Amino acid sequence: MAEKQGQELASVSVYLNTGVVAAIFGVGFIAATLIFGGITLLSKALF
């Protein structure tokens, strides 16, 4: 097998900030809970 020689064309580094990701998931969970609760209350009030 021939060895690959030469410079890399691209190097990609991804840094994931777990605090930001946890905050986004938390806000999304709270928003989904509130929306689901509001839809449930509306459906019970209307039907």
**In angstroms, rounded to a whole number, what is the distance separating the alpha carbons of residues 34 and 37?**
5
- Does this model's pTM top 0.85? My answer is no
For the stretch 2-46, pLDDT in tens is 556 667 677 777 778 899 999 999 999 999 999 999 999 999 998
What pLDDT shows up at residue 3?
58
> In this structure, how many other beta carbons lie within 10 angstroms of the beta carbon of residue 42?
10
pLDDT of residue 4: 60
